[in-house]
Structure 1
């Protein structure tokens, strides 16, 4: 059976499009029909809602399951233009490649940055560079080979905002850590190697969680399941928090800050922790709404606390 879908602007309520679809068609078909009428509005750029204050409709939802307008008999949807989009893989590669190469410029070419470029690096300076490069190289490889994204794109403006954050902090931390006047941590080698060992453990934990998340979603699908521990001991943290990847990530940067005793690194850790806590709280709320049997004892990011 054919249905008429009336598309209105989500804020002004101005009529924008009328499209004809079959009752068995999905929201994805509606987006393609809009795209056929206005070529710049490709599907990833569109957000459709059944109510102006409601949540965005998923592409797989059926048009027939939506409420019809009682007067016109049409299905009425509300449209928002999300603006030009860019693929998540491109975003992450840009965000993570920048910090890696920026840090290496400070480390490998100090004569470009500092007037006193003949000072010898401390052991902790070499270790800090190795840890920084390891972290962002891991992120780049995970982006290409591990992550499976539920959404194909994000607004292109976000790539500039996110890159400014990552690239700016990379320069700030690298300038301090590679400076000729950089001093070793207060407790010397003990503090350095405790920080290094903790950093590597948290990085391994973070990688283990990313693998567990990947295995929850078959390739090419948008399946969502309750994340649970598997045979990898690092995934035990799923018993306590919804976003252990963020828990391990914050742990890595706390460890890096301890190892280097670096104020810029500590500020980077605080800024990143704040953002990850916000993300984790949002994801935790969504899990509890989406899954009726979601474990109620879990916290969002910090076991037993938050």
Structure 2
């Protein structure tokens, strides 16, 4: 197959963005993106999506030109500008740093928030809740830096605002009521508090165990995908039942936190998180089944046997 001339066409306006000359069949989609970037400096590779059809699926960067079955004459690829991008790791660090620092403000300086009413001593569960909340987001920051391997390098910059508004907003909402001078401790006292705390700790350990397994599943610097299966860690046995046990454990942690604090705002946070994670889990579950013909049939997405 001889070298090609490929027109890059805007998927929305149908206007030609640029033309790439002397494209080798062995070139990858990433090579094409880099060539576009050389001609259009602001269009760095992470900002680009290339497709075979205007509304088609974005091509994978590792795909080679010879695999795209482009015509030898009049070859075209459709381009979409994804807008200014920001690294996933940076986004996560911003998202999680907010809740780690915002929540303790209500606990450490209640007089600033609540005024003179804050002079009354706090219930022990309020102190435990602050420690649990802080531990969760400190863990998330640690995982973002040292554990997670991201399959995508960047996301649109606007996602920082959207995601941070969710995390930071719910953090202030939950913290305001749990640390409020009029907060009422759980109805069943220490039994409810420590049962909820135990559930929270176990779920956090389970979530961390799944993230470690995911890390070891993908070699550093690759985008290789494998079917996740349990290892020797008992917390990973949940993979026998669901495709996304990290989400299952995450929901279990916040449900336990809600029980421990007997807080309606915490429960609303749990429900909102569950709805979003269920959507993500169902999408990942579908992708697993589509990609792997031998994917375990007994698994559901996030809740064993149900969802």
Which range, TM-score by smaller chain?
A: over 0.9
- State the match for 2:49 in structure 1: 47
For normalisation by structure 1, the TM-score amounts to: 0.98
Alignment of 1:80-229 (within 5 A): 80-115=80-115, 116-229=117-230
Runs of 4+ in 1 over 6 A off after TM superposition: none
Alignment of 1:12-51 (within 5 A): 12-20=13-21, 21-51=23-53
Question: d(CA) in 2 for partners of 1:202 and 1:81?
Answer: 40
- State the match for 2:247 in structure 1: 246
SS of corresponding position for 1:223:
coil
Question: d(CA) in 2 for partners of 1:304 and 1:3?
Answer: 51
5+ residue gaps, structure 2, are none
Q: Deviations over 1:175-201 (max 9, x none)?
A: 001111111101111111110000000
Once the 2 structures are TM-superposed, how far is the Cα of residue 101 of structure 1 from its aligned partner? 0.3
Contact map agreement 1:3 1:74 (CA 8 A) in 2: no
Once the 2 structures are TM-superposed, how far is the Cα of residue 293 of structure 1 from its aligned partner? 0.9
- State the match for 1:66 in structure 2: 68
Once the 2 structures are TM-superposed, how far is the Cα of residue 12 of structure 1 from its aligned partner? 2.4
Once the 2 structures are TM-superposed, how far is the Cα of residue 292 of structure 1 from its aligned partner? 1.2
SS of corresponding position for 2:6:
strand
- State the match for 2:272 in structure 1: 271
Contact map agreement 1:66 1:75 (CA 8 A) in 2: no
Contact map agreement 1:298 1:304 (CA 8 A) in 2: yes
SS of corresponding position for 1:107:
helix
Question: d(CA) in 2 for partners of 1:8 and 1:89?
Answer: 31
Once the 2 structures are TM-superposed, how far is the Cα of residue 119 of structure 1 from its aligned partner? 1.0
SS of corresponding position for 2:183:
coil
Q: Deviations over 1:243-277 (max 9, x none)?
A: 00000000000000000000100000010000000
Q: Deviations over 1:42-98 (max 9, x none)?
A: 0000001112232111110001111224xx624321100000000011000000000
